């Protein structure tokens, strides 16, 4: 499918001692928000729409920087338009300079090389200030349509990934990234090691796409043994947007000061709850972070 085709932000302080649950609307406005950098999925099942709902369900404020608008339906991705890099830079700068700053960042679909470069350059100051950045390396849609070009992948790997707290590829995404780095492997641990060598803080390879009664997500660290997280697999049709939800939850938990392993465990458990509440609407199973509608 053929898709149509500033300044760095001011450093912002991390949010200390934040309570994830039970945040009132009054206190929500005083807390540093989570910045979501992702694309709009017109179906509402994934992308920016779901990211915002996840963060809102956790009682947190949010800022958003849109990278693209995708036209998606039952047949997959039908079309897409990418926002100009200058608009993306300006959006991120504005989010970071408005009080009270940014506490954490989730990055999703990057579309192409100019978009990826704009995002990487705009997040440099946040990374230098140790604001946790969570990267969901969106490569293809659920239906198989490409969502980033090869040059964009190169920038993702070499410019953005090294400044990230954690990245959350599924197994196929991890192997694709390894191949882009010149390593043909079917071993996810080897793929994760290559990503860690680039400087990312951790790699969480998700296992929701496999078979069996349980999913196993594996956390790979620069040193020490991998940590596995087992959780029940969704019955029947797999909901869309689980990767978006997981990475958004991770950004929120990391911003709250959770340790890496606690942030991962809490985020996996949270998304498992979303999956339990998921329901079929039309031809898709949708996540409802805010609770299933009556």
- Residue 10 is assigned to a structural domain of this protein: no
CATH code, 126: 3.40.1190.20
Q: How far apart are CA 77 and CA 240, in angstroms?
A: 13
Length of the chain: 294
- Residue 193 is assigned to a structural domain of this protein: yes
- Residue 39 is assigned to a structural domain of this protein: yes
- Residue 92 is assigned to a structural domain of this protein: yes
- Residue 11 is assigned to a structural domain of this protein: no
- Of 118, 117, 125, 119, the C-alpha closest to 106 is 119
Look at residue 232 in the predicted model and tell me its pLDDT.
77
pTM score above 0.75 = yes
Domain that holds residue 99: 31-286
Q: How far apart are CA 135 and CA 153, in angstroms?
A: 12
Look at residue 113 in the predicted model and tell me its pLDDT.
98
Q: How far apart are CA 290 and CA 275, in angstroms?
A: 12
Of 89-103, 228-242, 247-261, the one with minimum mean pLDDT is 228-242
Q: How far apart are CA 193 and CA 238, in angstroms?
A: 28
- Residue 17 is assigned to a structural domain of this protein: no
- pLDDT, one tens digit per residue, over 255-281 is 999 999 999 999 999 998 888 887 777
Considering only the C-alpha atoms of the chain, give the largest distance between any 2 of them, rounded to a whole number of Å: 52
- pLDDT, one tens digit per residue, over 55-100 is 999 999 999 999 999 998 777 788 999 999 999 999 999 999 887 8
Q: How far apart are CA 168 and CA 201, in angstroms?
A: 11
Q: How far apart are CA 33 and CA 63, in angstroms?
A: 6
**pLDDT exceeds 70 at position 137:** yes
- Residue 37 is assigned to a structural domain of this protein: yes
Q: Is the peptide bond before 158 cis (omega within 30 degrees of 0)?
A: no
Domain count, the chain: 1
In percent, how much of the chain has pLDDT > 70? 85
Q: 208 falls in which pLDDT band (50, 70, 90)?
A: low
- Residue 291 is assigned to a structural domain of this protein: no
- pLDDT, one tens digit per residue, over 118-135 is 999 999 999 999 999 999
**pLDDT exceeds 60 at position 191:** yes
């Amino acid at each position: 499918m053929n898709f149509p085709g500033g300044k760095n932000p001011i450093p912002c302080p991390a949010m200390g001692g934040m309570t994830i649950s039970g945040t009132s609307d009054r206190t929500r406005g005083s807390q540093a928000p989570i910045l979501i950098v992702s694309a709009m999925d017109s179906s509402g099942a994934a992308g920016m729409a779901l990211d915002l709902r996840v963060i809102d369900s956790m009682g947190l404020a949010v800022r958003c920087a849109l990278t693209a608008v995708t036209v998606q339906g039952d047949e997959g991705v039908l079309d897409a338009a990418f926002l100009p890099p200058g608009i993306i830079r300006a959006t991120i700068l504005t989010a970071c300079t408005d009080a009270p700053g940014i506490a954490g960042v989730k990055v999703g679909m990057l579309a192409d090389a100019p978009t990826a470069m704009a995002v990487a350059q705009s997040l440099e100051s946040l990374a230098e200030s140790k604001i946790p950045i969570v990267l969901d390396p969106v490569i293809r849609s659920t239906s198989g349509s490409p969502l980033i070009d090869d040059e964009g992948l190169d920038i993702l790997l070499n410019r953005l990934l090294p400044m990230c707290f954690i990245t959350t590829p599924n197994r196929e995404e991890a192997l694709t990234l390894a191949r882009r780095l010149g390593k043909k492997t079917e071993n996810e641990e080897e793929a994760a090691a290559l990503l860690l060598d680039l400087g990312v803080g951790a790699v969480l390879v998700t296992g929701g796409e496999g078979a069996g009664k349980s999913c196993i997500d594996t956390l790979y660290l620069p040193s020490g043994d991998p940590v596995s997280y087992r959780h029940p697999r969704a019955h029947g049709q797999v909901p869309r947007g689980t990767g978006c939800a997981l990475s958004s939850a991770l950004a929120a938990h990391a911003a709250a000061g959770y340790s890496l392993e606690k942030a991962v465990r809490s985020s996996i458990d949270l998304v498992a709850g979303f999956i339990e509440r998921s329901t079929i609407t039309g031809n898709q199973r949708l996540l409802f972070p805010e609770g299933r509608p009556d």
